């Protein structure tokens, strides 16, 4: 069976990147560690795309806190349906 596109993509972009499922863009998290600020642990995230020749190009950079990301991701979780068969 062939390799899934996600596996090929992950090998090309690494563990610190998250692909968009509908475009050629991705989020790239800084590998340089984080900084503690008053609001929490600051993370640098670059919004990336492929330029000509499949070279990565940064569209913009965001600095957000880990705590804010965790809070927002928790809001997106669907409650488990306990009546559904396992």
Query: Which region, left, alpha or beta, applies to residue 66 given φ > 0 means left and ψ of -120 to 50 means alpha?
Result: alpha
pLDDT higher for 55 or 5?
Answer: 55
pLDDT in tens, 18-69: 999 898 899 999 877 667 777 788 899 999 998 888 889 999 999 999 999 9
The domain spans of the chain are: 7-76
φ and ψ at 43, to 5 degrees?
Answer: -120, 140
């Amino acid at each position: 069976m062939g390799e899934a596109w996600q596996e090929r993509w992950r090998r090309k972009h690494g563990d610190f990147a998250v692909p968009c499922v509908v475009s050629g863009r991705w989020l790239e998290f800084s590998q340089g560690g984080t900084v503690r600020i008053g609001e929490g642990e600051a993370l640098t995230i670059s919004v990336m795309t492929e330029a000509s020749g499949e070279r990565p190009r940064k569209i913009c950079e965001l600095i957000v806190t880990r705590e804010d990301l965790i809070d927002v991701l928790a809001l997106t979780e669907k409650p488990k349906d306990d009546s559904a068969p396992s």
